[in-house]
Amino acid sequence: MPRLLPVLLGIAFLLGTSMGIAQEPKEEIQKLLTEVEQKFDQGDPRGLAACWTPDGVFINRSGERFTGRENLEKTFQASFSAGKKVSLRFHVRSLRIVGEGVALVDVLPEVRPQTRTLGGEPNLDLVLVQRNGRWLIESAREIRCAPVQVQHLKDLEWLVGDWASEASPQSGVSLHSTCGWTDSRAFLIRKYTVEGKDGVLHSGTEVIGWDPRARRIRSWVFDSNGGFGENVWFHDGNRWLVQYSGTLKDGNEVSATNILTVVDPDTLRIQSKDRTSDGEPQPDVPGITLKRQAAAKDASKTGESRKPAQTILP
């Protein structure tokens, strides 16, 4: 699709999503949202251009500038003629009412069916103004931002590093976790081990990524016993609610809600609640505190070796 297409995709959803603005401006902006969606889906370049002010501006990521409804209509017409029919989804990054009849909005657009994008996702900065009781686009500027996976996973960047709990006085069991980025920074890879007095009891690998269809963080877990499962992550202040569903090696279906609380940058608290096995309730797992571990010394210089649990990330 022409580069113009992704720019237009973000307008509608952004403009209508509640970001703490007053109800009346929100409702009026929603009307513009609906109109942009309809005109775009209909392939109506004139109607779409009418969503701009008479002297409205669009600037693509190459710096090309299109000013006025007549020029915008011609540009939209060329875009529609060159591409196949698509559906549009719009994702709000920010929306602010900054003055009487002026709004600044930041959009992350999505095209369905998806088109390949290189060098990051398109991002759209909009200035909206209210003219004669109607919200219109005064300017739209397309920029390139980091790939959407990286943007969303940055909220979990604090996981990167080595973490360990102290051994339980009763059982002698401890948990070790190491997390790092893939080369593309599109995924986080977390490897963990559970150790007892006699060595490693259990280990596994978790791949954490962004689901562009569901618009949420998901992860996939594979354990050393042959089980596997999936997590869905929800951000809640200083904690994450991680809903797990999986299958054990014997075929039993299991589920749980794991709660990760960030106490401070170097302290993590993990709890597991609402646990079931084949639909039967299971006891909660008491909270475990993990501490961030200092970087290991260079073994080639010191002659020291790291514990296996801390060298599990390739």
User: Which structure tokens are listed for 97?
Assistant: 């009412």
How high is the pLDDT of residue 154? 83
**What is the domain-level CATH number for residue 260?**
2.40.128.20
CA end-to-end distance (rounded Å), the chain? 39
Q: Are residues 122 and 229 in the same domain?
A: no
Whether omega before 109 lies within 30 degrees of 0, making that bond cis, reads no
Q: Are residues 156 and 293 in the same domain?
A: yes
Q: Are residues 170 and 258 in the same domain?
A: yes
How high is the pLDDT of residue 8? 43
Choice between 217 and 91, residue whose per-residue pLDDT is larger: 217
Question: Based on the number of CB atoms within 10 Å of its own CB, is 250 exposed (0-12), middle (13-18) or buried (19 or more)?
Answer: exposed
Mean pLDDT over the full length of the chain:
78
Instruction: Using alpha carbons only, give the angle 239, 241, 245 rounded to the nearest 5 degrees.
Output: 155
Other beta carbons less than 10 A from residue 298's beta carbon = 9
Q: Are residues 10 and 34 in the same domain?
A: yes
User: Which structure tokens are listed for 75?
Assistant: 């540009």
Q: Are residues 174 and 250 in the same domain?
A: yes
Cβ-proximal residues to 9 (8 Å cutoff; 6+ apart), any chain: 40, 88, 89, 90, 107, 109, 110, 111, 122, 124
Note down the domain range covering 12: 4-145
User: Which structure tokens are listed for 249?
Assistant: 């090696």
Q: Are residues 115 and 209 in the same domain?
A: no
Q: Are residues 128 and 163 in the same domain?
A: no
Domain edge (last residue) among 145, 172, 187: 145
Predicted TM-score (pTM) of this structure: 0.51
Task: Read off the pLDDT of residues 219-241 as tens digits, 9 standing for 90 and up.
Answer: 999 999 899 999 999 988 889 99
Choice between 206 and 199, residue whose per-residue pLDDT is larger: 206
d(CA 75, CA 143): 18
Q: Are residues 193 and 57 in the same domain?
A: no
Position 23 confidence tier, pLDDT thresholds 50, 70, 90? low
Q: What's the DSSP call for residue 123?
A: E
d(CA 176, CA 292): 10
How high is the pLDDT of residue 191? 94
Domain count, the chain: 2
Q: Are residues 69 and 181 in the same domain?
A: no
Position 62 confidence tier, pLDDT thresholds 50, 70, 90? confident
Domain edge (last residue) among 100, 122, 145: 145
Q: Are residues 195 and 128 in the same domain?
A: no
Which residues share a beta bridge with 253?
Answer: 247
How high is the pLDDT of residue 110? 67
- Min mean pLDDT across 18-22, 134-138, 249-253 is at 18-22
Domain edge (last residue) among 145, 163, 197: 145
Position 285 confidence tier, pLDDT thresholds 50, 70, 90? confident
**Secondary structure of 253-301 as H, E, C letters:** EEEEEEEEEEEECCEEEEEEEEEEECCEEECCEEEEEEEECCCCCCHHH
Q: Are residues 238 and 267 in the same domain?
A: yes
- Average pLDDT (288-309) is 53
Residue 58 zone, left/alpha/beta (φ > 0; ψ -120 to 50; rest): beta
Position 299 confidence tier, pLDDT thresholds 50, 70, 90? very low
Q: Are residues 140 and 248 in the same domain?
A: no
**What is the domain-level CATH number for residue 29?**
3.10.450.50
Task: Read off the pLDDT of residues 89-143 as tens digits, 9 standing for 90 and up.
Answer: 666 677 788 888 998 887 766 666 655 443 445 677 888 999 998 999 999 888 7
Choice between 37 and 249, residue whose per-residue pLDDT is larger: 249
